């Protein structure tokens, strides 16, 4: 089997496929493309488009050999841009201030820790990303997988199955919205019967803070979808809508468990030991108050992980606020059918 080998223009050495630098003179194989990406990132930074700048720099990291000065410099730049995008740090020199797009900020979960309970902010986020919500439905693999998943759940009725699938879809689009905000390429949501749904990242977050925001964006959007179903149930008195809201809340609570690749594990990466213990305590109180066991599971895993070696050294107050608010709100919504039955 013949393997295509290119020749270095500088020293004439053979360069095997997949190499990022010439083995003879260390010249970068993708030097021309890296220069274009650097120019694109610089232009985006001057325009205040931090998302476009991150996307260009992120692509550049894929074309650089590991443990090089260029790669370390770009990764540091990306961390600075990501922090500025979320309001966690100052803008790097030469970078223009981003435009005042409130909807974009809400969608990215950047300032959500300070305004989590403002329904207007969350509604704006969904409206601003209406195109993104529709985009996934226009992709045949996503749509077919949703229908297959709905059929798998149809034992409790078509209406219930479609309602739950819709809530899960909104949850996954929340991840996509956050990933896109950080310039991370990702696939459309895909549903797998018996497992749930997933979004495949083609690139990876820059640091723990970015990963936490991407991870918790799903439950945040899921909370909005759940609240809409609960509101419809309250207005119409339809028990089906309340059941959908309860199931959706339980699914989102399950995703907050800090285990494996679940959203809670990603969200916890940005939290310090004390912040993880706060999550554990709030979750325990929420479980007792709502008479739901899932928040207790979330709290138990958070408590165990508080003493793990991966606790963040400085923490992230905004993600702490988001995490505990999600646990409390979702626990209350998960208890809706029982509460409605008690009231009646």
Dist CA 244 CA 287 (whole Å)? 20
d(CA 123, CA 127): 6
Q: What pLDDT is stored for residue 263 in this prediction? A: 96
pLDDT of residue 49: 93
pLDDT recorded at residue 93: 87
Q: How far are the Cα atoms of 153, 171, 292, 328 from residue 297, in angstroms, in the given order?
A: 25, 20, 10, 13
Q: How far apart are CA 98 and CA 264, in angstroms?
A: 29
What is the rounded distance in angstroms from the CA atom of residue 275 to the CA atom of residue 87? 20
Q: In Å, what is the CA distance from 178 to each residue of 13, 174, 299, 322? A: 43, 6, 25, 14
Instruction: Give the number of other Cβ atoms within 10 Å of residue 69's Cβ.
Output: 8
Q: Which pLDDT score, from 0 to 100, does residue 321 have? A: 95
Whole-angstrom distance, CA of residue 311 vs CA of residue 259: 14
Residue 269 contacts residue 310 (beta carbons within 8 Å): yes
pLDDT, residue 89, reads 86
CA dihedral 174, 179, 180, 184 (to 10 degrees): -160
pLDDT score for 186: 86
Residue 330 to residue 121: CA distance in whole angstroms: 18
Q: Give the number of other Cβ atoms within 10 Å of residue 66's Cβ.
A: 8
Closest CA to 304 of 283, 331, 277: 277
Residue 4 pLDDT: 66
* pLDDT on residue 2: 54
The reported pTM is 0.85
In angstroms, rounded to a whole number, what is the distance separating the alpha carbons of residues 149 and 185?
25
pLDDT at 99: 67
pLDDT tens, residue order, the chain (344 aa): 455 678 888 788 888 888 888 888 888 988 999 999 999 999 999 999 999 999 999 999 999 998 889 999 999 999 999 999 988 888 988 899 886 544 344 444 444 444 444 455 555 555 556 667 777 777 888 888 888 888 888 777 888 999 999 999 999 999 999 999 999 988 888 888 877 888 888 888 999 999 999 999 999 999 999 999 999 988 988 889 999 999 999 999 999 999 988 999 999 999 999 999 999 999 999 999 999 999 999 999 999 999 999 999 999 999 999 999 999 999 999 987 655 434 33
Structure tokens at 206: 């820059």
């Amino acid at each position: 089997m013949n393997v295509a080998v290119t020749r270095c223009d500088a020293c004439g050495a053979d360069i095997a496929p997949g190499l990022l630098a010439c083995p003879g003179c260390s010249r970068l194989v993708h030097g021309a493309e890296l220069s274009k990406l650097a120019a694109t990132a610089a232009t985006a930074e001057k325009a205040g488009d931090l998302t476009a700048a991150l996307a260009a720099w992120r692509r550049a990291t894929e074309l650089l050999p590991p443990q090089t000065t260029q790669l370390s410099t770009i990764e540091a730049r990306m961390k600075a841009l990501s922090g500025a995008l979320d309001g966690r740090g100052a803008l790097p020199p030469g970078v223009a201030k981003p435009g005042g797009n409130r909807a974009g900020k809400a969608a990215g979960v950047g300032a959500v820790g300070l305004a989590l309970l403002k329904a207007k902010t969350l509604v704006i986020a969904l409206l601003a990303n209406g195109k993104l919500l529709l985009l996934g439905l226009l992709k045949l693999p996503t749509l077919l997988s949703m229908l297959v998943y709905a059929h798998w759940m149809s034992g409790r009725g078509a209406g219930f199955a479609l309602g739950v699938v819709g809530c899960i879809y909104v949850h996954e689009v929340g991840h996509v919205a956050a990933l896109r905000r950080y310039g991370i390429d990702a696939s459309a949501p895909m549903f797998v019967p018996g497992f749930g749904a997933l979004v495949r990242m083609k690139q990876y977050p820059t640091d723990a803070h970015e990963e936490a925001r991407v991870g918790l964006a799903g439950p945040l959007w899921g909370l909005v979808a759940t609240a809409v179903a609960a509101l419809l149930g309250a207005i119409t008195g339809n028990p089906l809508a309340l059941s959908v809201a309860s199931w959706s809340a339980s699914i989102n609570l399950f995703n907050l468990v800090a285990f494996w690749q679940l959203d809670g594990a990603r969200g916890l990466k940005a939290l310090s030991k004390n912040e993880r213990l706060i999550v554990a305590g709030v979750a325990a109180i929420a479980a007792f108050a709502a008479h739901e066991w899932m928040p207790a599971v979330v709290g138990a895993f958070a408590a165990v992980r508080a003493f793990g070696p991966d606790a963040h050294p400085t923490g992230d107050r905004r993600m702490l606020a988001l995490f505990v608010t999600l646990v409390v709100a979702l626990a209350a919504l998960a208890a809706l059918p029982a509460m409605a039955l008690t009231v009646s």
